[in-house]
Amino acid sequence: MKVLSLVILAFLSLCICRSLPAQSQNVRMWKNKDGKEVMMQFVRMDGETHCIMKTKDNREHRFPLELLAEQDRKIALAMRPLAAATGKDRSSADTALLIDRIMNENWVKTRSQPNEPASDEEFVRRIYLDAVGRIPNLGEIRAFFENDSPNKRNELIDVLMESEGYKSHLYNYFGDMFRITDKIGDGGSLVRGVSFMEWVKKCIDENRPYNEMVYEMLTASGKAWETPATGYLLRDSGMTLDNLANTVSIFLGTEIACAQCHDHPFYDDTWTQAKFYEMASFFGSTVTQLGPGEFKNGEPLKRIRNEVVDIIKANGGDPEDFNTQRLMRTLGRMIAANRFQVKDVEKNRIKLPHDYKYEDHAPGDVLAPKFIEWPDERNFNPRKDKEMNDRQHFATWATSRENPMFAKVIANRMWQRAFGIGVVEPVDNLFAPSMDSNPKLLAFLADEIRRTNFDLKAFQRTIFYTKAYQSKANTTEYEPGTNYAFQGPLLKRMTAEQLWDSFMTLQLGDPDKYRGATGELYERVIDMELDKTTGKTAVQKLTAYQNMGQTMKKLNDAKMEDSEEGEGSAMSMEMTPRSRGGAQLLRASEMNQPAPAGHFLREFGQSNRLVINGASKEGSVPQILRIMNGNSTEMLTSNSSQVYANLAAEETPEAKVEALFLSILNRRPTESDMELAIRKIDEEERYAYDDLIWALVNTREFLFIQ
């Protein structure tokens, strides 16, 4: 066999296979151990020791891998994924090569040139910001530069994807997409969104399949603190039509909100007002706030209040007293909070509006649930099992692998997070695209996310592995509405959360150690089973609510004692966040959702969570003033900041300057940088380092992701 294979290679060395497609990555000049070369196409590996090549006559030849030169053996093994089966066992690295191959075909087609590989300095800062939402600290950046592994980039990606920062960063994205807020309901509501927040974080931490996560959000029933996934529907309590429009936009990339009031102006045959209401009917028998008729023992507010009044009178109190009246108002809000729950009823309450003007139906008609159909897409209608309610039927359809839009939309969203622009834009309205740059790529990405069973972590890892992502960023201005060839990621400004979390890294070193407060105690206090709650129980609940501040203080004091006894432990660090100027020093994901008006996060474009993906990266004068003169920059020059500790740990001015550049810009200073810094230090050493910190965080290089 060996002799025959040598004869084949020797014969092939006389031929030039001009007919093979030159643009294909696995067609090249192959060299054997004797130095002879031949143009062949790599087809596949046959086991671990043999490979199969194709010649210009379209014949396949099998021969031992050992006959190839050492370098060509490595190339053949590296090319194996390009021709490998697309089964479940394909790795992220294998898939990244396939994506790069599709990108290469598009570059040839569009006559584009891929960007050069990003430098280590560019890559390490980019991957920290894109994977975990913050810049690396000094120890992390030095560890990467000192790593001499040829695969150190992918090794770092693997580490970051399993870190606490990954959970925090993806949560910020979901928080913007799902419009997560601290409070659910109207302004006076006592219902908080903290249980839903913690549930989303837990889903990310456990790497739950995205389709399962969404299915649970659409089908969960109960109170927000009993079944946290209900937070998605409760977010729009009492606004079924708006919630449906948001749901279709978020998960199915279709903007149909205008069909709520009239036929769609561009797709009037596809998305009519009647069809919108047919879709809404899947949620027509779902309520998000219980009315008086939902209780066996009558209206709970009146009954419980009367019993509490009787208790007050029996103890010599005055029900008309100001403080008593204030307590009664609080009781009313506690009872109202327990009304906020998702429940399915028998009657479909969705009706066509009174001003419905089309001839196919009459105003006030109740329409049977029916799925929307997309133009030019493969549509399907899953069977409704007997045990399914309408809402479960909708969720089964929406999150199905067979739904042509569900996988495509989340794949496009994750691609946009990494590259700064989606394969199709806008990401929430794929049927009115201003850009559709590479249909083959989007189809592959959708298939890939299905293949991984909607594993967002594996999918994002694959994107980060690609050569396209690890190339230099495009610094030329992108013209909206034009196709983008993805020669590299777009140069983009940090989000508000990335910028704040990077400041927290400079201040704290490892901000992932700190945790914000949970709502467990609060929810336990206000929880009532309204049909069974008596006046006595309500008084106990009111007392606990009044004393909640003192209870929290005792818990915090106990945690502080634990911290002193076990200083530096993960538990003590998690429970004792620092503060400065009255503001807690926490990652954005651990703070109020959203941050209050006037906060750094809101100033730099954090969404107010009123609309889907409402965050902004637009610059403004207040932003400039905030970084130049605000507390966020001032705190970095205090002795308590980690960046100042990094500075103090170095002995020479040159080493101090390098530590500052590595900490803030994540690169070493150039000769010019060092010369200017040392000159400043020689002139005014006392304040020179403070000025250098201020100057570096005020550069565009710090604000942007290269």
Amino acid at 355: D
How far apart CA 224 and CA 218 sit, in angstroms, is 13
Amino acid at 223: K
How far apart CA 223 and CA 199 sit, in angstroms, is 13
Report pLDDT for 364: 92
Q: Which two tokens stand for residue 350?
A: 């969705």
How far apart CA 273 and CA 264 sit, in angstroms, is 7
Backbone angles phi and psi of 528, in degrees to 5: -140, 145
Give the CA angle between residues 155, 158, 164 to the nearest 5°.
130
How far apart CA 45 and CA 47 sit, in angstroms, is 6
Q: Which two tokens stand for residue 369?
A: 């649930």
User: What is the distance between the terminal CA atoms of the chain, rounded to a whole angstrom?
Assistant: 53
Amino acid at 121: E
The 8 Å CB, 24+ separation contacts for 449-453 are: 449/210, 449/407, 449/410, 449/411, 449/414, 450/401, 450/407, 451/86, 451/88, 451/90, 453/209, 453/211
- 3-class secondary-structure state, position 39: strand
Q: Give residue 633's Cα distance to chain centre.
A: 27
Q: Give residue 162's Cα distance to chain centre.
A: 14
Backbone angles phi and psi of 54, in degrees to 5: -115, 135
Report pLDDT for 2: 41
Q: Which two tokens stand for residue 443?
A: 């189809």
Strand positions, DSSP E, 520-572: none
DSSP 67: G
Q: Which residues of the chain have pLDDT under 50?
A: 1-25, 82-86, 560, 563-575
Q: How many residues does the chain have?
A: 706
Q: Are strands 704-705 and 27-31 parallel, antiparallel or unpaired?
A: unpaired
Backbone angles phi and psi of 544, in degrees to 5: -65, -40
Q: Determine contact, residues 17/58, Cβ cutoff 8 Å.
A: no
Partnered with residue 63 across adjacent β-strands are: 51
Report pLDDT for 78: 63
Sign of the alpha-carbon torsion through 587, 591, 595, 598:
negative
DSSP 183: B
Please name the residue that has the structure tokens 């910190």.
693
Q: Which two tokens stand for residue 482?
A: 């034009």
- 3-class secondary-structure state, position 286: strand
Report pLDDT for 199: 96
How far apart CA 496 and CA 43 sit, in angstroms, is 48
DSSP 94: H
How far apart CA 158 and CA 188 sit, in angstroms, is 45
Q: Determine contact, residues 554/226, Cβ cutoff 8 Å.
A: no
Partnered with residue 424 across adjacent β-strands are: 436
Largest distance between two CA atoms of the chain: 110
DSSP H or E segment with residue 45 = strand 37-46
226-237 burial, b at 16+ Cβ within 10 Å, e below that, comes to ebbbbbbbbbbb
Give residues with Cβ within 8 angstroms of 255, minimum separation 6. 248, 249, 428, 429, 431, 432
What is the chain's Cα-based Rg? Answer: 30
542-562 burial, b at 16+ Cβ within 10 Å, e below that, comes to beebeeeeeeeeeeeeeeeee
DSSP H or E segment with residue 197 = helix 194-205
DSSP 582: T
How far apart CA 12 and CA 93 sit, in angstroms, is 32
Partnered with residue 53 across adjacent β-strands are: 42, 61
Report pLDDT for 10: 39
DSSP 420-487: SS-SEESTT-TTS-SEE--HHHHHHHHHHHHHTTS-HHHHHHHHHHSTTTTBPPB-SPP-TTS----S
Label residue 581 exposed, middle or buried (CB < 10 Å: 0-12, 13-18, 19+): exposed
Is it true that the peptide bond before 426 is cis, omega within 30 degrees of 0?
Answer: yes
Give residues with Cβ within 8 angstroms of 167, minimum separation 6. 201, 204, 205, 589
How far apart CA 240 and CA 287 sit, in angstroms, is 9
How far apart CA 637 and CA 680 sit, in angstroms, is 17
Give residues with Cβ within 8 angstroms of 570, minimum separation 6. 513
Please name the residue that has the structure tokens 């605000």.
630
Q: Determine contact, residues 499/605, Cβ cutoff 8 Å.
A: no
Please name the residue that has the structure tokens 């020669």.
487
With the CA atoms of 502, 506, 510 and 514 taken in that order, what torsion angle do they form, in degrees rounded to the nearest 10?
-80
Q: pLDDT, tens digit, for every residue of 416-431?
A: 999 999 999 889 888 7
3-state helix, strand, coil in the chain (%, to 5): 50, 10, 40
Q: Determine contact, residues 586/577, Cβ cutoff 8 Å.
A: yes
How far apart CA 417 and CA 580 sit, in angstroms, is 32
Give residues with Cβ within 8 angstroms of 159, minimum separation 6. none
Backbone angles phi and psi of 494, in degrees to 5: -60, 150
Report pLDDT for 576: 53
DSSP 187: T
